[in-house]
Amino acid sequence: MGRNKKTWVGAAALLLGGVAFVVGPNAHAGDESAAVVAPEQRVPAGAATVGAEEAADAVLSYTGDTTRTLTYPGASFVKVHFERLLLADGDYVSVSNADGSEEYRYDSSDGAGTWATSVTGQQAVVELHREAASVLADLPLFGAAIDKVTRGLSPAEMSEPRSPESVCSRDDKKDAVCYRDSDPAAFNRSAAVARLLIDGTTLCTAWRVGPKNRMMTNHHCFETSREAKATEVWFGYECEVCGGSATREPVKVRGDEVLATDQTYDYTLFTVGDFSEIEDFGYLEFDNRLSERGEKLYIPQHPSGKPLQIAVDSDSDDGGNCRVEEPKYQGYEADTDVGYKCDTEFGSSGSPVIARSTGKVIALHHFGGCPNSGVRADLLVAELRRLL
CATH value at residue 336: 2.40.10.120
| 216, HSE (Cβ side, Cα atoms, 13 Å) | 33
What pLDDT is stored for residue 161 in this prediction?
A: 52
User: Looking at the structure, do residues 105 and 169 belong to the same domain, yes or no?
Assistant: no
User: Looking at the structure, do residues 362 and 245 belong to the same domain, yes or no?
Assistant: yes
Residue 2 resides in a domain: no
Per-residue pLDDT of the chain (388 residues; tens, 9 = 90+): 333 222 222 223 333 333 333 322 233 233 333 334 444 444 334 457 888 999 999 999 888 899 999 999 999 899 999 999 999 888 999 999 999 999 999 999 998 899 999 998 999 999 999 877 676 677 778 899 999 999 988 877 776 655 445 888 888 899 999 999 999 999 999 999 999 999 999 999 999 999 999 999 999 999 999 999 999 999 999 999 999 988 999 999 999 999 999 999 999 999 999 999 999 999 999 999 999 999 999 999 999 888 999 999 888 777 788 999 999 999 999 999 999 999 998 899 999 999 999 999 999 999 988 899 999 999 999 999 999 9
User: Looking at the structure, do residues 264 and 163 belong to the same domain, yes or no?
Assistant: yes
User: Looking at the structure, do residues 90 and 40 belong to the same domain, yes or no?
Assistant: no
Cβ neighbors of 270 (< 8 A, separation 6 or more) are 214, 215, 217, 225, 228, 255, 256, 257, 258, 259
Alpha-carbon 252 to chain mean position: 12
User: Looking at the structure, do residues 44 and 57 belong to the same domain, yes or no?
Assistant: no
**Rounded Cα–Cα distance for residues 215 and 267 (Å):** 10
**Residue 107: CATH number of its domain:** 2.60.120
Domain closes at, from 92, 117, 152: 152
Domains: count for the chain = 2
**Rounded Cα–Cα distance for residues 85 and 60 (Å):** 10
Residue 273 resides in a domain: yes
User: Looking at the structure, do residues 243 and 121 belong to the same domain, yes or no?
Assistant: no
**Which DSSP helix (H) or strand (E) runs through 185?**
helix 184-189
Give the other-Cβ count within 10 Å of 180's Cβ: 15
Give the other-Cβ count within 10 Å of 73's Cβ: 8
**Rounded Cα–Cα distance for residues 186 and 12 (Å):** 33
Domain closes at, from 102, 122, 152: 152
**Rounded Cα–Cα distance for residues 271 and 262 (Å):** 16
Domain closes at, from 133, 152, 171: 152
SS3 (DSSP) at 187: helix
User: Looking at the structure, do residues 58 and 192 belong to the same domain, yes or no?
Assistant: no
What pLDDT is stored for residue 149 in this prediction?
A: 97
Residue 68 resides in a domain: yes
Residue 307 resides in a domain: yes
Residue 113 resides in a domain: yes
User: Looking at the structure, do residues 233 and 123 belong to the same domain, yes or no?
Assistant: no
Which structural domain range is residue 71 located in? 51-152
Q: Are 46 and 366 in contact (CB under 8 A)?
A: no
State phi, psi for 387 to the nearest 5 degrees: -100, -15
Residue 1 resides in a domain: no
Residue 104 resides in a domain: yes
User: Looking at the structure, do residues 129 and 174 belong to the same domain, yes or no?
Assistant: no
Residue 104 CB-density burial (10 A; 0-12 exposed, 13-18 middle, 19+ buried)? middle
SS3 (DSSP) at 84: strand
User: Looking at the structure, do residues 267 and 119 belong to the same domain, yes or no?
Assistant: no
Residue 254 resides in a domain: yes
The residue type at 383: E
- 0.75 exceeded by pTM: yes
User: Looking at the structure, do residues 106 and 211 belong to the same domain, yes or no?
Assistant: no
User: Looking at the structure, do residues 195 and 273 belong to the same domain, yes or no?
Assistant: yes
What pLDDT is stored for residue 26 in this prediction?
A: 30
